[in-house]
Amino acid sequence: MSDTKRPPGTFPGVTLADVARAAGVGESTASRVLRNRGSVSERSRAKVEAAAERLAYLPNRLAGNLASTGSNLVGIVIPSLANVVFPDFLSGVNQVLEANGHQSVIAVSEYSPRREEALIASLLAWRPAGLILVGLDHTEGAKARLRASGTRLVEAYDTDGVGLDRIVGFSNRNAGAMAARHLVTRGYTRIGYVGHSIHGDIRAVKRFEGFRAALAETELDVVAREIGTGTSSVEAGREGLARLLAQGTEVDACYFSNDDMALGGYFHCLSRGIEVPNQLALFGHNGLEMARHAPQPLTSIRTPRAKMGEVAARMVLGQEQGRMIDLGFELLEGGTT
């Protein structure tokens, strides 16, 4: 197309120049038409559009973005895809980005700050319009790169600490505290905790800290705890509660690091005939759909995951004012407390 003699293996590839030639206009005019930018006569517009259609022209964003220095990509680093909450978040991000003609490059850190640092560097190489990260904790190297790059940055999911640029999320500490106060108000005093491996899930740790701090307000503390070694899951919750109860300490309520874990705990109670909430109350976190529709809806805290994604995306696109937006959370009073 754009060249008659061309290496045999290479796919032709219609270029903007081809379209311009076919339409009988200059390259710039063709470019203006295809991007709806600048003023173009109806005549030219029609000719270019027809030519582009006829040649099945596919713009090359690599070239376009390079020339205009800046891409319409947004880099996103999440800790995991296995945990339902992050897809929910991504969903929100994606919706807003797509509506604004942006595209998301997604990377998964597996809760490893070192991996995150490498991924950030890798994403910055695309000269993205912005970056969205989860949490406020990053390696020093990552922070340095981010600052140096000058890329717009949004940190989501955590407002307990200082961020690098923009922040959207909620206070995990306060979420934990709300759980504690709810249990205290309901009269529970012998409270246990079942969590998943803390390895990297700093926000779960913050919740637990907030939980204990709030208990301490009424001179209480967790009487037993059981921390799994793996990631959060129904199975881990089920086994965690089993182990907690096997410790022998008397417990009248249990706080879980997560709804999956709590649902596992609930399943354990069903299996063993433990009456919920009379013998044992259960409290989760996240307000997952599946847990809300159990025979006894799980008492939990609903976190604004999709909303957070939407706001994060809008922030990264510069459509949101504040530097820090706390979206809060909501107590879901279920039947398990």
Partner DNA sequence: TCATCATTTGGCAGCGCTGCCAAAATTTGG
Partner DNA sequence: CCAAATTTTGGCAGCGCTGCCAAATGATGA
Cα–Cα separations (whole angstroms), residue 143 to 106, 117, 150, 323? 19, 8, 11, 17
Token couple for 325: 């937006």
Contacts (Cβ under 8 Å, ≥6 apart) of 52: 19, 23, 30, 33, 34
What is the spatial distance between Cα 283 and Cα 38, in angstroms, rounded to a whole number? 58
- Which one among 17, 27, 45, 106 touches a second copy, defined by CB under 8 A? 106
When the beta carbons of 63 and 216 are compared against a second copy, the nearer one is 63
Counting contacts by CB under 8 A, is residue 238 touching a second copy? yes
Contacts (Cβ under 8 Å, ≥6 apart) of 179: 207, 211, 214, 255, 283, 285, 301
Counting contacts by CB under 8 A, is residue 61 touching a second copy? yes
What is the spatial distance between Cα 36 and Cα 113, in angstroms, rounded to a whole number? 42
Counting contacts by CB under 7 A, is residue 335 touching DNA? no
Counting contacts by CB under 7 A, is residue 249 touching DNA? no
Single out the segment in contact with a second copy by CB under 8 A; choices: 43-51, 124-132, 160-168, 194-202. 124-132
When the beta carbons of 71 and 171 are compared against DNA, the nearer one is 71
Counting contacts by CB under 7 A, is residue 35 touching DNA? yes
Count, residues near a second copy per rule CB under 8 A: 58
Binding track, positions 147-186, relative to a second copy; x by CB under 8 A = -xxx------------------------------------
Strand order in the sheet with 253-256: 224-227, 191-195, 253-256, 281-283
CB of 80 to a second copy, least distance (A): 8
Q: Mapping DSSP to helix (H, G, I), strand (E, B) and coil, where does residue 160 land?
A: coil
Contacts (Cβ under 8 Å, ≥6 apart) of 222: 191, 192, 193, 211, 212, 215, 255
Token couple for 129: 């319009």
Residue 164 near which of DNA, a second copy, none (CB within 5-8 Å, type-dependent): none
When the beta carbons of 37 and 293 are compared against DNA, the nearer one is 37
Residue 138 near which of DNA, a second copy, none (CB within 5-8 Å, type-dependent): none
Counting contacts by CB under 8 A, is residue 246 touching a second copy? no
The values of phi and psi at residue 104, to 5°, are -105, 130
- Which one among 1, 17, 49, 59 touches a second copy, defined by CB under 8 A? 59
Cα–Cα separations (whole angstroms), residue 204 to 54, 173, 200, 317? 56, 9, 9, 29
Binding track, positions 261-300, relative to a second copy; x by CB under 8 A = --xx--x--xx-----------------xx-xxxx-----
- Which one among 46, 53, 54, 66 touches DNA, defined by CB under 7 A? 66
**Is the omega angle on the peptide bond into residue 277 within 30 degrees of 0, that is, cis?**
yes
What is the spatial distance between Cα 183 and Cα 212, in angstroms, rounded to a whole number? 12
When the beta carbons of 36 and 229 are compared against DNA, the nearer one is 36
Q: Mapping DSSP to helix (H, G, I), strand (E, B) and coil, where does residue 115 land?
A: helix
Single out the segment in contact with DNA by CB under 7 A; choices: 57-65, 113-121, 203-211, 282-290. 57-65
Q: Which residues bind a second copy (CB under 8 A)?
A: 10-11, 56, 58-63, 65-66, 69, 71, 73, 81-82, 84, 86-88, 90-91, 94, 98, 103-108, 121-127, 144-145, 148-150, 233-235, 238, 260, 263-264, 267, 270-271, 289-290, 292-295
Binding residues for DNA, rule: CB under 7 A, are 2-3, 13, 15-17, 24-29, 31-32, 34-35, 37-41, 43-44, 59-60, 63-64, 66-69
